[in-house]
């Protein structure tokens, strides 16, 4: 396990406190508290509908209504519109991939404006995901599910975001690709990216993560550091219904 | 039982110069659970779309139960007994669970165009609809509006709706995608139950599900068939290992 | 007047287009004209008060006939005035006639109003298509415009106007070099004008109305039709000229039933009208004043508001006022009176606001309007 | 906004959907409410000519039928036609030709008008039904314009004069419809018939499939339903009933005229439906009553009809999309 | 005969350039905001009217109006977008259509009440008076100007949308505005500007039209339906489609006016029916 332990008082990149979120009239998050240090990789685990996606969206301000506190790099963002929050260095890879169907693969890749300097270059990304290079001129909507997933990840790596919010990036992908993604995420971590990962695929995240938050019904119910994982696997499996 | 229910010959689909499916010969035996796997973009969904006529093939033929269906309209293909599910869940969101299933059953009454008939004439279907809901553990939700169901239940509802048509051939596109583990188990059991009386062709990335369920596997890569055979054989094929499964599976 | 006036009130309903396509040539101005007439009459006949009500029919015949029915059944309206746009007029006439109420039309021009569709309780007061066609056609040929090309709005009104004018032009010794039927409505007339120009005709007859006429005139100016060719507008109101401006419209021929600056009487009325509305009256609005006056005089003369008696009196009495000379209302309801051929002045000839026309010719009533013997109205005994 | 087919589609019927269409088997309470609503409507209709002006009431009934037919298409099949005036108007002319020029009885006029509209619905539908959403709206608008231009130009329509002098005739050759009251009750009977048919259609086996198609079209296809045909049938039904309304109106008013065919009429039927409550059974009728009253009342006020109509449009889109009936229903549901 | 034909084609092109300008604005607004802007005709009318009011009340010249009026109308439209249209995003696009339809009624009604129906004349600007006598026709200078300017404006707009980054944002924003915003793009602002620009284009066309057509409150409502048909034929939302089809239909209409004038106003709709039979998504439209 590389990286920083959960309790090292390193620079804190994200601090969420008492976050509530609503879709219309339904109250989905009931006071989420979590912290992510710089260079850390944490996961949000939980069953379907436990509110993991919503947590990511709420951090970005993409839910109907939210309250509480979300500090990014020491800055309170609760009152900011999403496009301002992102410029604090966030990158978001959404659950349904969010590829723009009418833009070509390459236009999709080039679309997000840089949020900091130091994003990866297009060539580098094409080397990382060769399928994309091949399909660069196709409309995004015509890409296969897996191609779209790769594109969605590549897209935010280009912007120079240092805090990545990734939602189910292995969803619907062939095992080879999942492995490739695993390598990619590890590489990112080594380069100092901070990652919040939402995953179903526990096998995928277990070797990568520093810490795990467990969510249930819109609340954080537990926190498991990587070191304690072995000991608590049984409990975790029960929790996730594995 | 070497009875082929679905057969494609040289099935090909081009999109503006890009060949998504090229010369696929697929033979699905009656009563089998047949899996179509392959890396992303291999053309699996496209093959499904061709089989159900949501797309027109560029070349090649499709035969179902001995009949050439290459030029048949999508709804007609469905009426012949080829019914599909979608990669993204497909329910009628604002109908109740019962109504979802009933809409599928309704076709059997032959009154779908009868705009002058009373809704009461549909009540005869309720028993059968409940039976189907029972089979997928949804009977308790009969009056819930479908959109309010959790994801896994939606897939179950979709399956019930598919079964309502009593199809000969069921096409399932990633039936376990996006499901929690408990739901996966339920769906696998369900598919097995379903397959007892019919043929299933499914696309699936979850190899444990494939290994568990499927009698025969076709691996697609870049639009062509890479390998075909039973799971054990295919999963050891070095080409498949390289192109799809990877080292660690 | 000894209580022979039903319910002791004479109620005049001005039913017109307050906002739509005809609101400038009729509309609020028609209402003002009717009110002026009532004031001038003294506001009373004997003990009976005269009241004016008004409504906007929005050019929709269903709205018009509904209002007419309600007015007659529930509000005891005695006479319905103006009814600009022939579809509303034709819709209201039978409703009123069935209930023995009088309609005094000033705005519409359609011939069937006093032809196949005539009613015994209707007066068609100001102009009709025939008058416009015959007036302009004959008079222009006589002043030297021998060869014609028509730009015609392709619907019943336009075609009637075109055919009538053509036959008059031919009968008066002119030639028709061609025509083009433009869909109605049309905003761009350039290609039709091009065809008219290449025909080489002296006169381009515009068998259309309203916005179509205005755009055609405007674009004729743009494409340099003058001075080689002149326009003849077959249905043009002074409000149209006002909005076009003299520079654009100059030199055009048109027929009108009324021009404000024709004599002292017309000037006197028009000044007062202008004070009210800040516009000079169109022939339709002047017609409304005149017909209301004629109607009130008939009640006064007969002492009753009974429709049959009033109609008889109106027919028997000739009209001679600032509006009409030698006016007579026939059994078909058509008011035959003198019409005038006018030429639009050039900007330098115009001395004051609204000084737009030179009256070139007076067209006597018997030439302007169809003779009774040719009437298609079943009420006319031949 | 999103074109992702998986995204929940924004719902043109607003709150009309969830719960508004209970499974017929489970809610006797709902049935009873509908019964009372019907009863109230029937009674109101019976006494109406004694309260309001019969000719006005007849026009409202015709418009209400028109709007209900339109609602069948928009509210239940999710298809916005912006050319429905074509059916109303063409049927009116057809009824006029049959009764005035051919001298056939009133009933024949209604049949002819309905038949013409049905046929037109079939032709337009075959061409337009392949597209949905805004395309469909624009295409129907285009076709309606064609019909309008035809009516302007054809010699027998009377062009701008309108098609005047349509006789009301006698019902079954006996009852004189020239009389306001007999005409009213005849109109009312036709209205009730049409209204009942629409209501029945919505709830029928056909209506159920239609709703399923609106909810998820590819899924309906994969269940073996030929969706184009269902939409076409809905379109033709709606056209036919609009035609019935149009021919009835021609006989009531005794003329047919160009404004019936104008695209403003197509807009106005949308307004009625929206104002009353899209996708509700009663809404369109309420809306028709309101819009007609508005036009009627504003007539004596003079000049601001267009402005006020426009403002009502804006207000109902911004503030109460569910329409009057929809809002009332939501209110009732919330408070119980 | 061929000479006359030339003339007709040229005139057709001139009309076509109006269609192109208007349909371009409509297509942009539809393509990006998914709003069918029924108020487009009213904005066109507003453009012409403001030019006229400017000239007669304040002595604002044509040249100033050509720039200023689109700005004013654009600003007005931005107000509409901020206060009303914005609240309808995410709903069925039917509501946008109905809202703008209502707004069009209001605008036309207000101007009718204020200025009457017959309208007013706007003089051709001094510098563009007169014309040239070509071998086949007399071409007013002003009309030549109209074609040149419209084509230039259309091309510039097309370039921005299809070939620049801003354009890519706009197209992406149509599909999934929330996500685009999650990438750090100020989407609400983008939408506002887009609507303002589309409206400004309409107003620009209005100013251009003022010297040719009578400036009346209803001038937009007759043209807007034709322009809708143009957009449908071109393929809704397709920028190239709307420009090419606009010009092309102008030509077709020109020919019809020559060979079969009665059908001139119907021909657009006939073409629409034909095109949709063969290509349901329109000439340049993508099947969705
Ligand atoms: N747009 C929405 N409107 C209303 N409720 C929503 C919406 N999106 C999610 N929810 C509800 O919020 C809850 C949390 O959803 P969320 O998507 O965050 O779950 P998740 O943990 O990411 O699960 P999944 O595995 O399904 O992605 C669920 O109950 C869901 O039904
Ligand atoms: N309509 C289309 N136009 C152009 N290309 C298409 C179209 N549909 C699919 N493709 C391309 O065809 C290839 C096969 O796509 P398909 O969706 O069938 O893949 P798949 O095997 O289902 O992949 P996944 O497992 O990721 O869903 C992909 O490269 C895709 O980009
Ligand atoms: Mg999720
Ligand atoms: Mg797929």
For each of the domains in chain A, give its residue range(s) and CATH number, in order of start: 9-240 (3.40.50.300)
Pairing assessment for the beta strands C102-105 and C122-124 based on DSSP bridges: parallel
Give the C-alpha separation, E226 to E220, whole Å. 10
Radius of gyration of chain A (CA): 17
Q: Does C228 score more than 90 pLDDT?
A: no
**How many Å lie between the alpha carbon of C360 and the closest alpha carbon of chain D?**
31
Does an H or E element contain D157, and which?
none
Mean pLDDT for D167-196 is 81
Q: Are D274 and D74 in contact (CB under 8 A)?
A: no
Q: What is the pLDDT of residue C104?
A: 93
CA A53 to the chain's CA centroid: 9
Q: Are C322 and C259 in contact (CB under 8 A)?
A: no
Structure tokens at E89: 């995003």
Q: Are C242 and C279 in contact (CB under 8 A)?
A: yes
Report which protein residue has its CA nearest ligand 1's atom 4: A23
Structure tokens at B164: 């309502």
The DSSP line for B126-169 is HHHHHHHHHHTT-GGGTTSBGGGS-HHHHHHHHHHHHHHT--SE
**Model confidence band, residue D30 (pLDDT cutoffs 50, 70, 90):** low
Residue E256 lies in a domain: no
Would you give the DSSP letter of residue E137?
-
**Structural domain of residue B13, as residue ranges?**
1-81+200-249
Q: How many CB atoms lie within 10 A of CB A37?
A: 22
Q: What is the pLDDT of residue D14?
A: 36
User: Which residues have CB under 8 Å from B126's CB, separation 6+?
Assistant: B98, B102, D25
Q: How many CB atoms lie within 10 A of CB B15?
A: 14
Q: What is the ipTM of this complex?
A: 0.78
Distance A170 CA to ligand 1 centre (A): 18
Please compute, for residue E201, the number of CA atoms within 13 A of its CA located in the half-sphere on the CB side: 30
Mean pLDDT for C195-215 is 87
**Model confidence band, residue D31 (pLDDT cutoffs 50, 70, 90):** low
Residue B152 lies in a domain: no
**Model confidence band, residue D239 (pLDDT cutoffs 50, 70, 90):** very high
Mean pLDDT for C5-33 is 85
**Contact A96/D6, CB-based, under 8 Å?**
yes
Give the C-alpha separation, E63 to D131, whole Å. 43
pLDDT in tens, E252-278: 988 888 888 778 878 888 888 888 778
Residue B163 lies in a domain: no
Residue with tokens 């209002």: C67
Distances, alpha carbon A19 to alpha carbons A12, A64, B110, C113, C348, in Å: 17, 13, 54, 77, 79
Chain B interface, best mutation among D26, D76, D118, D205, by max B CB count within 10 A:
D205
Mean pLDDT for E28-52 is 89
Q: What is the pLDDT of residue C56?
A: 86
**Contact B90/D227, CB-based, under 8 Å?**
no
Give the C-alpha separation, A6 to A41, whole Å. 10
CA-closest candidate to residue D190, choices D248, D114, D116: D248
Q: How many CB atoms lie within 10 A of CB E60?
A: 17
Residues of E at the A interface, defined by Cβ within 8 angstroms: 165, 168-169, 171-172, 174-176, 178-188, 286
Top-ranked range on mean pLDDT: pick from C236-240, C325-329, D240-244, E179-183: D240-244
Q: What is the pLDDT of residue E66?
A: 92
Domain total of chain B: 1
Residue E238 lies in a domain: no
Peptide bond into A27 cis (omega under 30): no
Q: Does E242 score more than 90 pLDDT?
A: no
Phi and psi torsions of B96, nearest 5°: -75, 165
Residue E54 lies in a domain: yes
Give the C-alpha separation, D65 to D45, whole Å. 13
Domain total of chain E: 1
Give the C-alpha separation, D76 to B114, whole Å. 16
**Structural domain of residue E109, as residue ranges?**
2-219
CA-closest candidate to residue C284, choices C127, C132, C133: C127
Sign of the torsion angle spanned by Cα atoms E215, E217, E220, E222: negative
Please tell me which residue, D13 or D303, carries the higher pLDDT value. D303
pLDDT in tens, D101-132: 887 888 888 999 999 999 999 998 988 887 77
Distances, alpha carbon B93 to alpha carbons B112, B149, B187, D107, D261, in Å: 20, 9, 20, 44, 37
Q: Torsion angle, CA of B145/B146/B151/B155, rounded to 10 degrees?
A: 150
- Report the helix count and the strand count for chain B, using DSSP H and E: 9, 10
- For ligand 1, is residue A94 a contact (CB within 6 Å)? no
Residue E100 lies in a domain: yes
pLDDT in tens, C23-77: 888 888 999 999 999 999 888 888 888 999 988 887 888 788 888 988 888 888 9
Domain with residue B18: its CATH number is 3.40.50.300
User: Would you call B68 helix, strand, or coil by DSSP?
Assistant: strand
Residue E24 lies in a domain: yes
pLDDT in tens, C132-174: 888 888 888 988 888 999 999 887 778 888 988 998 899 988 8
Give the C-alpha separation, C182 to C151, whole Å. 7
Report which protein residue has its CA nearest ligand 1's atom 5: A23
Q: Are E14 and E146 in contact (CB under 8 A)?
A: yes
Residue B191 lies in a domain: no
Range 92-151 of B in CB contact (< 8 A) with D:
92-96, 98-99, 102-104, 106-107, 109, 111-123, 126, 143, 145, 147
Q: Does A9 score more than 80 pLDDT?
A: no
Q: How many residues does chain C have?
A: 382
Give the C-alpha separation, E262 to B199, whole Å. 62
Neighbours of chain D (3+ CB pairs under 8 A): A, B, C, E
Give the C-alpha separation, C88 to D160, whole Å. 10
The DSSP line for A144-202 is -HHHHHHHHHHHHHTTT-SEEEEE-TTTT--HHHHHHHHHHHHHHHHTT-EEEEE-S-H
**How many Å lie between the alpha carbon of C3 and the closest alpha carbon of chain E?**
42
Please tell me which residue, C347 or A235, carries the higher pLDDT value. C347
Q: Torsion angle, CA of B122/B123/B129/B133, rounded to 10 degrees?
A: 130
Give the C-alpha separation, E173 to D3, whole Å. 11
CA-closest candidate to residue A142, choices B57, B176, D219, B49: B49
Phi and psi torsions of B227, nearest 5°: -155, 160
Q: Does E62 score more than 60 pLDDT?
A: yes
Q: Are C58 and D305 in contact (CB under 8 A)?
A: yes
Give the C-alpha separation, B170 to A115, whole Å. 47
Task: Give, in degrees to the nearest 5, the angle at Cα A199 between A196 and A201.
Answer: 140
Closest residue to B244, CB basis, from A138, A174, A240? A174
Give the C-alpha separation, D165 to D100, whole Å. 7
Q: What is the pLDDT of residue E90?
A: 72
Per DSSP, helices labelled H in C59-111 are: 61-74, 86-98
Spans of chain B below 50 pLDDT:
1, 247-249
Mean pLDDT for A183-207 is 84
| Ligand closest in space to the Cα of A172 | 2
User: Which residues have CB under 8 Å from C90's CB, separation 6+?
Assistant: C61, C108, C110, C112, C113, C117, D161, D162, D164, D255
Please compute, for residue B229, the number of CA atoms within 13 A of its CA located in the half-sphere on the CB side: 9
**How many Å lie between the alpha carbon of C108 and the closest alpha carbon of chain D?**
10
Residue E235 lies in a domain: no
**Model confidence band, residue D186 (pLDDT cutoffs 50, 70, 90):** confident
Contacts of B79 in chain D (CB under 8 A): 224
Strand-pair partners of E132: E139
Structure tokens at C199: 């025909």
**Which regions of chain D does DSSP assign to beta strands (E)?**
163-164, 170-171, 175-176, 255-256
Per DSSP, helices labelled H in chain B are: 44-51, 74-80, 97-106, 126-135, 151-164, 181-195, 207-213, 231-236, 238-240
Phi and psi torsions of C5, nearest 5°: -90, 120
Distance D322 CA to ligand 1 centre (A): 26
CA-closest candidate to residue A128, choices A186, A42, A201, A172: A186
**Contact A179/B178, CB-based, under 8 Å?**
no
User: Which residues have CB under 8 Å from D288's CB, separation 6+?
Assistant: D60, D63, D64, D66, D67, D272, D276
Q: Torsion angle, CA of E235/E236/E237/E238, rounded to 10 degrees?
A: 10
Q: Is B10 left (phi over 0), alpha (psi -120 to 50) or beta?
A: left
Give the C-alpha separation, E54 to C7, whole Å. 54
Give the C-alpha separation, B175 to A156, whole Å. 29
Residue B66 lies in a domain: yes
Give the C-alpha separation, C362 to C368, whole Å. 10
């Amino acid at each position: 396990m590389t990286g920083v332990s959960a309790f090292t008082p390193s620079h804190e990149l994200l601090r969420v406190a008492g976050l509530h979120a609503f879709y219309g009239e339904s109250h989905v998050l009931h006071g989420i508290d979590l912290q992510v240090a710089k260079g850390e990789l944490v996961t949000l685990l939980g069953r379907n509908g436990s509110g993991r996606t919503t947590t990511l969206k709420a951090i970005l301000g993409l839910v109907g209504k939210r309250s509480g506190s979300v500090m990014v790099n020491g800055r309170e963002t609760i009152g900011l519109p999403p496009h301002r929050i992102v410029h604090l260095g966030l990158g978001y890879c959404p659950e349904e991939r969010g590829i723009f169907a009418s833009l070509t693969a390459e236009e999709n890749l080039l679309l997000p404006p840089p949020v900091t300097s130091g994003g990866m270059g297009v060539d580098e990304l094409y080397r990382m995901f060769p399928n994309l290079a091949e399909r660069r001129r196709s409309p995004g909507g015509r890409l296969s599910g897996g191609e779209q997933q790769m594109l969605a990840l590549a897209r935010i790596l280009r912007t120079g975001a240092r805090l990545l919010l990734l939602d189910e990036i292995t969803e619907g992908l062939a095992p080879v690709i999942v492995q490739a993604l695993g390598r990619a995420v590890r590489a990112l971590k080594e380069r100092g990216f901070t990652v919040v990962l939402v995953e179903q695929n526990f096998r995928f995240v277990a070797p990568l993560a520093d810490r795990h938050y467990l969510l249930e019904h819109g609340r954080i119910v537990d926190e498991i550091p990587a070191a304690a994982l072995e000991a608590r696997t049984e409990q975790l499996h029960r929790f996730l219904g594995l | 039982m070497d009875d082929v229910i679905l057969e494609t010959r040289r099935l090909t689909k081009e999109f503006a110069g890009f060949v998504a499916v090229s010369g696929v010969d697929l033979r699905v035996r009656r009563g089998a659970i047949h899996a179509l796997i392959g890396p992303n973009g291999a053309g699996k969904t496209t093959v499904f779309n061709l089989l159900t006529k949501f797309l027109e093939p560029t070349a090649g033929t499709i035969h179902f139960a001995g009949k050439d269906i290459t030029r048949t309209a999508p709804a007609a293909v469905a009426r012949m007994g080829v019914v599909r599910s979608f990669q993204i869940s497909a329910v009628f969101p604002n109908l109740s669970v019962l109504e979802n299933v009933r809409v599928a059953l309704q076709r059997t009454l032959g009154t779908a165009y009868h705009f002058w008939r009373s809704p009461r004439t549909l009540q005869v279907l309720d028993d059968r609809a409940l039976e189907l809901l029972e089979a997928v553990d949804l009977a308790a939700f009969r009056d819930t509006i479908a959109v309010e169901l959790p994801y896994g239940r939606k897939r179950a509802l979709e399956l019930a709706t598919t079964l309502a048509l009593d199809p000969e051939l069921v096409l399932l596109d990633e039936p376990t995608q996006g499901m929690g583990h408990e739901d996966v188990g339920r769906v696998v059991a369900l598919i097995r139950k379903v397959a007892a009386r019919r043929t299933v062709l499914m696309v699936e990335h979850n190899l444990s599900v494939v290994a568990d369920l499927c009698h025969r596997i076709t691996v697609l890569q870049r639009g062509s068939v890479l390998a075909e055979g039973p799971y054990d054989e295919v999963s050891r094929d070095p080409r498949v290992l390289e192109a799809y499964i990877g080292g660690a599976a | 007047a000894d209580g022979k006036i039903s319910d002791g009130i004479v109620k005049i309903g001005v039913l017109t287009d307050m906002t739509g396509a005809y609101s400038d040539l009729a509309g609020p101005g028609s209402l003002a004209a009717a009110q002026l007439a009532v004031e001038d009459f003294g506001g009373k006949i004997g003990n009976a008060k005269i009241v004016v009500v008004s409504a906007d029919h929005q050019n929709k015949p269903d709205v018009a006939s509904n209002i007419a029915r309600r007015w007659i059944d529930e509000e005891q309206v005695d006479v319905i005035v103006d009814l600009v746009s022939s579809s509303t007029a034709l819709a209201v006439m039978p409703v009123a006639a069935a209930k023995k109420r009088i309609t005094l039309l000033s705005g519409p021009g359609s011939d069937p109003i006093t032809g196949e569709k005539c009613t015994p309780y209707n007066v068609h007061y100001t102009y009709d298509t025939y008058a416009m066609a015959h007036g302009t056609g004959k008079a222009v040929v006589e002043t030297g415009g021998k060869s014609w090309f028509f730009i015609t709005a392709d619907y019943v009104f336009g075609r009637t106007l075109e055919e009538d004018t053509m036959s008059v032009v031919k009968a008066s010794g002119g030639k028709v070099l061609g025509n083009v039927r433009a869909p109605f409505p049309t905003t761009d007339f350039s290609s039709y004008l091009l065809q008219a120009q290449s025909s080489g005709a002296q006169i381009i007859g515009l068998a259309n109305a309203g916005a179509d006429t205005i755009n055609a005139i405007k674009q004729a100016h743009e494409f340099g039709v003058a001075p080689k060719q002149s326009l003849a507008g077959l249905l043009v109101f002074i409000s149209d000229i006002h909005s076009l401006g003299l520079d654009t419209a100059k030199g055009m021929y048109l027929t009108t039933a009324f021009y404000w600056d024709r004599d002292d009487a017309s000037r006197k009325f028009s000044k007062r009208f202008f004070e009210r509305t800040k516009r000079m009256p169109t022939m339709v609005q002047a017609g409304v004043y005149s017909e209301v006056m004629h109607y009130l005089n008939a009640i006064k003369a007969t002492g009753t508001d009974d429709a049959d008696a009033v109609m008889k009196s109106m027919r028997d009495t000739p009209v001679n006022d600032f509006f009409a000379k030698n006016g007579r209302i026939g059994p078909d309801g058509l008011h035959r009176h003198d019409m005038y051929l006018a030429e639009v002045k050039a900007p330098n000839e115009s001395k004051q606001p609204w000084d737009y026309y030179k009256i070139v010719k007076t067209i006597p009533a018997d030439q302007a309007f169809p003779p009774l013997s040719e009437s298609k109205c079943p009420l006319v005994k031949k | 906004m999103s074109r992702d087919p998986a995204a929940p589609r924004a719902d043109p019927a607003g709150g009309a959907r969830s719960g508004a269409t209970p499974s017929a088997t489970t809610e006797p309470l709902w049935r009873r409410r509908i019964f009372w609503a019907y009863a109230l409507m029937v009674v109101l209709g019976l006494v109406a000519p004694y309260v309001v002006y019969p000719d006005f009431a007849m026009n409202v009934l015709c418009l209400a039928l028109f709007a209900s037919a339109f609602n069948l298409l928009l509210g239940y099949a999710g298809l916005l036609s912006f050319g429905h005036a074509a059916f109303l108007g063409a049927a009116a002319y057809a009824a006029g030709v049959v009764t005035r020029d051919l001298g056939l009885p009133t009933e024949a006029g209604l049949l002819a008008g309905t038949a013409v509209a049905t046929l037109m619905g079939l032709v337009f539908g075959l061409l337009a039904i392949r597209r949905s959403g805004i395309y469909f709206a624009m295409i129907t608008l285009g076709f309606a314009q064609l019909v309008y231009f035809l009516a302007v130009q054809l010699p027998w329509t009377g062009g701008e004069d309108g098609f005047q002098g349509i006789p009301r005739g006698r019902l079954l050759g006996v009852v004189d419809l020239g009389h306001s009251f007999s005409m009213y009750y005849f109109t009312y009977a036709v209205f009730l018939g049409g209204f009942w048919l629409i209501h029945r259609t919505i709830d029928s086996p056909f209506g159920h499939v239609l709703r399923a198609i609106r909810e998820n079209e590819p899924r309906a296809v994969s269940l073996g339903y030929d969706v184009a045909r269902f939409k076409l049938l809905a379109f033709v039904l709606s056209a036919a009933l609009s035609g019935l309304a149009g021919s009835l109106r021609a006989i009531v008013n005794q003329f047919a005229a160009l404004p019936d065919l104008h695209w403003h009429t197509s807009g106005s039927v949308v307004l009625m439906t929206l104002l009353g409550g899209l996708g509700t059974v009663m809404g369109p009728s309420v809306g028709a009553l309101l819009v007609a009253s508005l036009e009627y009342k504003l007539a004596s006020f003079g000049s601001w009809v267009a402005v006020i109509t426009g403002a009502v449009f804006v207000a109902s889109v911004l503030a109460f999309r569910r329409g009057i009936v929809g809002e009332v229903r939501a209110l009732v549901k919330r408070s119980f | 005969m061929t000479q006359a034909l030339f003339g007709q084609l040229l005139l057709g092109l001139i009309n076509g350039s109006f269609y192109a300008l208007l349909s371009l604005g409509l297509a942009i607004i539809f393509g990006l905001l998914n709003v069918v802007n029924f108020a487009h005709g009213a904005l066109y009318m507003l453009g012409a009217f403001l030019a006229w009011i400017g000239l007669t009340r304040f002595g604002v010249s044509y040249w100033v109006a050509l720039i200023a009026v689109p700005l004013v109308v654009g600003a007005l439209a931005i107000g509409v977008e901020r206060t009303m249209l914005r609240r309808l995003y995410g709903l069925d696009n039917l509501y946008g259509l109905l809202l703008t339809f209502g707004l069009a009624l209001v605008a036309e009604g207000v101007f009718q009440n204020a200025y009457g129906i017959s309208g007013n004349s706007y003089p051709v600007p001094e510098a563009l008076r007169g014309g040239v006598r070509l071998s086949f026709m007399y071409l007013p200078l002003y009309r030549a100007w109209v074609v040149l300017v419209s084509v230039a404006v259309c091309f510039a707009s097309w370039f921005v949308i299809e070939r620049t980054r801003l354009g890519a944002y706009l197209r992406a924003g149509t599909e999934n505005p929330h996500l685009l915003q999650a990438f750090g793009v100020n989407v609400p602002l983008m939408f506002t500007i887009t609507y303002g620009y589309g409206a400004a284009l309409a107003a620009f066309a209005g100013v251009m039209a003022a010297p040719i057509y009578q400036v009346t409150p209803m001038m937009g409502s007759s043209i807007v339906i034709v322009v809708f048909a143009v957009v449908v034929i071109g393929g809704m939302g397709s920028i190239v489609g709307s420009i090419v089809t606009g010009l092309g239909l102008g030509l077709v209409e020109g020919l019809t006016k020559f060979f079969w004038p009665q059908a001139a106003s119907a021909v657009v709709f006939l073409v629409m029916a034909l095109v949709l039979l063969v290509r349901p998504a329109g000439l340049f439209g993508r099947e969705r």
